[in-house]
Amino acid sequence: MKKTVLLLLVVFVCSALTHSQTGYQLTSEQKAWLTKANRHEKNGWIYLHIEGTPEERGFQHGYLLAKEIKEALMEMSEVWHYETALDWQWLVQKGSKMFNSKIDSENMEEIDGIVEGMKAAGVVTNRDEIVTYNGTSELKGYWWPMIKDTISPNSPDHKKESCSSFIATGSMTADGSIVLGHNTMSSFYYPLCNIILDILPDKGHRILMQSTAGLIHSDTDFFITSAGLVGSETTIGGFFRFDVHGTPEFARMRHATQYASTIDEWCEIMKTGNNGGYANAWLIGDINTNEIARLELGLKYIGFEKKKDGFFVGSNVAEDLRILRFETKTSETDIKNSSVARRVRWKQLMRENKGKINLELAKEFEADHYDTYLNSSTPDMRTLCAHPDLDSDIYGVDIPFSPWGTLDGKVVDSKMAKQMTFVARWGSACGIPFDAKAFLDKHEQFDWMNGLLKDRPTQPWTLFKAGEDK
């Protein structure tokens, strides 16, 4: 008991010192803003509700997630330095110079609000850093590869986010309505994408989406809006084009999701000012019309399909031949590769489950461990729920036991989307836990990640809804 009291006293004193050192006192207006927001944690996820003007919701975000944003910035800085031998501030200078003038005023006001909210919580950052942090996927994955050989030629290729996603409707689903499933495949040493962000803006549509602390967009890209749109994406593998003069993807994604009322409107916003950064195949559904679409957004070339009956799947292989041949360096037939093996598996699952797809099957799909190269149920880098960390990779496709893979699972259908709810699972979609210490003890070649890798114990599928209370 005495130890508990002492610990609480230390925490209180440290908090008071941090506050006094910053000298920041909340205004009555800021206190009022915070009464409209809430943060709580559930089964590995952090749920954050923010609302109001861009400044208000940014302040709420920065204040309530200051600890997580600070940690994410430190992690991003450490990873960037290890991979490139360059300081994080070097990238901040380059990224902010490239992006600041191209971000619309509303998004920038929300970013400034995050900065001010963090400051009020005792964490110092600035606009340039938060802008660069929001654009890291574009900068590291698309801009940096174009110039790295002239600066840091031995820096490893950036491991772009990979995902396994599907959307189905009409004769494909059990009730004829839309079903969407998605899981995120990313490096285990990046900032955690375990934020459920509920945004009620003063203008535009409400958004419920997965995100990462400090981002105004999703980045992992799974969302529902009060306009009746649902969406996900899978990165277009092997994509190599980028336009430094275009509008950053993260700003377009957020604007489209907040303001579009139809699939066509959403896609038009994404295409306007396209810079090729974070090139994705977007799977979008409209529960008002029961339509689904796939927007493959290259740089010069764009693929678009829309239907009221059928499905679209995503596994990081471009389906549009112009994008595949002219803007990527990916083979669509080498089944040793994860993207191709998963593409084959998606087609098998769609064919085998036509007319039966529902939420429960969607969960099973996202947790699937069938390797179509080995023709066996083996959790490895080629399965829909990917586990490269368990894979010796004797076929030489990736780094053996590479610490990346599936971080989550999310599913939604039309009925849930109408209620602004979805179901999500933190950790691998299948539930296999990840023990950071055990992994590093076994694979000492990754010892530089000590302190970056975090445990992900088995968690249950969990329901989230817009407007959720603590």
Mean pLDDT computed over every residue of the chain: 94
Q: How many CA atoms lie within 13 A of 437 on its CB side?
A: 1
User: In terms of C-beta density within 10 A (0-12 exposed, 13-18 middle, 19 or more buried), how is residue 459 classed?
Assistant: buried
**Overall average pLDDT of the 259-280 stretch:** 98
Segment 289-304, tens digit of pLDDT = 999 999 999 999 999 9
Parent domain of 135: 27-150
141 and 206 assigned to the same domain: no
319 and 456 assigned to the same domain: yes
Domain annotation covers residue 399: yes
383 and 288 assigned to the same domain: yes
Domain annotation covers residue 97: yes
- Domain endpoint, select from 121, 150, 179: 150
182 and 146 assigned to the same domain: no
Domain annotation covers residue 12: no
Q: Helices 105-120 and 249-259, interaxial angle, to 10°?
A: 100
401 and 274 assigned to the same domain: yes
Tokens of 242: 């980028």
141 and 166 assigned to the same domain: no
99 strand-pairing partners: none
Q: What are the C-alpha distances in Å from 167 to residues 104, 319, 346? A: 31, 15, 11
Query: Which CATH number fits the domain that encloses residue 83?
Result: 1.10.439
User: How many whole angstroms separate alpha carbon 382 and alpha carbon 393?
Assistant: 10
Segment 148-187, tens digit of pLDDT = 999 999 998 877 778 999 999 999 999 999 999 999 999 9
User: How many whole angstroms separate alpha carbon 306 and alpha carbon 309?
Assistant: 9
The pLDDT value given to residue 23: 67
The pLDDT value given to residue 338: 96
Segment 356-398, tens digit of pLDDT = 999 999 999 999 999 999 999 999 999 999 999 999 988 888 8
Question: Of how many residues is the chain composed?
Answer: 470
Domain annotation covers residue 273: yes
80 and 222 assigned to the same domain: no
Domain annotation covers residue 198: yes
Query: Which CATH number fits the domain that encloses residue 291?
Result: 3.60.60.20
Q: Say if residue 329's pLDDT is above 60.
A: yes
Sheet of strand 222-225: strand arrangement: 38-42, 45-52, 195-201, 207-211, 222-225, 229-235, 280-286, 291-297, 302-307
Q: How many CA atoms lie within 13 A of 11 on its CB side?
A: 6
Domain annotation covers residue 341: yes
Sequence-distant (6+) residues with CB within 8 A of 257 are: 205, 207, 209, 217, 218, 223, 225, 229, 231, 266
358 and 417 assigned to the same domain: yes
The pLDDT value given to residue 13: 32
- Domain endpoint, select from 90, 121, 150: 150
The pLDDT value given to residue 377: 97
**Overall average pLDDT of the 70-98 stretch:** 98
The pLDDT value given to residue 118: 98
Total tally of structural domains belonging to the chain: 2
40 and 188 assigned to the same domain: no
Domain annotation covers residue 5: no
145 and 167 assigned to the same domain: no
Segment 218-256, tens digit of pLDDT = 999 999 999 999 999 999 999 999 999 999 999 999 999
170 and 215 assigned to the same domain: yes
| Spatial contact of 323 and 298, defined as CB atoms under 8 Å apart | yes
**Overall average pLDDT of the 203-214 stretch:** 98
User: How many whole angstroms separate alpha carbon 66 and alpha carbon 49?
Assistant: 15
- Domain endpoint, select from 150, 179, 209: 150
Domain annotation covers residue 8: no
Confidence category of residue 22, pLDDT binned at 50, 70, 90: low
Segment 111-139, tens digit of pLDDT = 999 999 999 999 999 999 999 999 999 99
CA-based nearest residue to 274, from 292, 257, 294, 256 = 256
The pLDDT value given to residue 1: 39
Q: 302-307 and 291-297: which strand pairing?
A: antiparallel
User: How many whole angstroms separate alpha carbon 304 and alpha carbon 286?
Assistant: 15
The pLDDT value given to residue 440: 98
Rounded to 5 degrees, what are φ and ψ at 229? -95, 140
120 and 167 assigned to the same domain: no
